[in-house]
Amino acid sequence: MGADIFMIVTGFIGAVEAPPYNYLWWVISSGAFLAILGSLLTEYSASAKRRNGRVNSLFQTLRNILIVLWICYPIVWILGAEGFRVISVGWETLCYAVLDLCAKVGFGFVVVSAGNETLAQASNSDRIMETTHSYMQSEERERSPY
């Protein structure tokens, strides 16, 4: 969550900063985005694989939606008014509107359509604790020299 907040704040700074500093902030924000992607593709995916098939499938679907759509945001930024001005403000606004609708409404629709049983299993705090302990034990085994 910290990387997400950092990404948003540095992206905002990039949007209000004048060139060439705005590009530096875009790179910094994109770096935070890469950290989020790394977590999604490694530790969070590994944790989801330890859950039942439906919960893991839901996670993978949501993760993939997030990755595809969120990759588009920095592309629109660099092509838009804050970046290289390849696309007009109108097209940039349209792109952001479509991305926001897909990322928020589409994401929400997938979550809601997952079904009550899957959502209950996904949010089961006892199961989350079991998964956490399992993850911690596997990490300890990997680090142990014996």
Instruction: Give 109's pLDDT tier (boundaries 50, 70, 90).
Output: very high
Confidence check: pLDDT of 130 > 70: no
Question: Would you give the DSSP letter of residue 4?
Answer: H
Contact between 30 and 6 (Cβ < 8 Å):
no
Crossing angle for the helix pair 2-16 and 53-79, to the nearest 10 degrees: 10
> What is the number of alpha carbons within 13 Å of residue 86 lying toward its C-beta?
7
Walk me through the domains of the chain, giving residue ranges and CATH numbers: 42-143 (1.20.1070.10)
Listing DSSP states for 96-138 in one string gives HHHHHIIIIIIHHHHHHTT-HHHHHHHT-HHHHHHHHHHHHHH
- Inform me whether the pLDDT recorded for 135 exceeds 90: no
* Three-class DSSP category at 36: helix
Provide the pLDDT for residue 122: 83
Q: How many CB atoms lie within 10 A of CB 15?
A: 16
By C-alpha distance, which of 137, 34, 16 is closest to 81?
16
Q: What is the mean pLDDT of the chain?
A: 89
Q: What pLDDT is recorded for position 61?
A: 96
pLDDT higher than threshold 70 for residue 146: no
